[in-house]
Structure 1
Amino acid sequence: MTERSPIIHLYFSNMAHESRLLREAKAAVEEGLACEAVGIGYGDGTLPPEQAMARNVSFLRLAPPRWAEGGGKVARLLRWPMWTLSAARAAARKKPSIVQAHSLAALPASILAARLFGSSRLIYDAHELETERAGWSGGLKKLARLAERALIGFADETIVVSGAIADWYANTYGMEKPHLIRNMPEAIPGTTSNGDGLRAELGLGGDDIIFVYLGRLGHGRGIPLLVAAFRNVGEDRHLVLLGDGPMQGDLLKDTADAANIHVLEPVPSEQVIGYVASADIGFSMIEDVALSYRYCLPNKLFESRRAGLAVIVSNLVEMANFVRAYGGGWIVENDPDELAKLVNSLTRVDIAAVKKEARPVPTWEEERERYVAIVRSLV
Structure 2
Amino acid sequence: MKKILILGSTGSIGTQALDVIRSNPDKFQVAGLTCRSRIRELREQIREFSPQAVAVEREEDAMALEKEFSGLQVYCGSRGLRDITHVDCDMIINSLMGISGMVPTYEAISQGRDIALANKETLVAGGEIITSFAAEKGVSIIPVDSEHSAIFQCLQSRGGSGVKRILLTASGGPFRKCSREELEQVTLEQALNHPKWSMGNKITIDSATMMNKGLEVIEARWLFDVDPERIEIHVHPESIVHSMVEFEDTSVIAQMGLPDMRLPISYALGYPKRVDFGGDSLDFFTEAPVLHFEKPRRDVFKCIDIAYSSIKEGGTAPCYMNGANEELVHHFLKGRIGFLDIQNTLETLMDRYQAGRASSVEELLDVDGRARRDVREALGL
Q: What TM-score do the two structures reach when normalised by structure 1?
A: 0.38
TM-score, normalised on structure 2?
0.37
Structure holding more helix per residue: 2
Larger Rg, first or second structure (1 or 2): 1
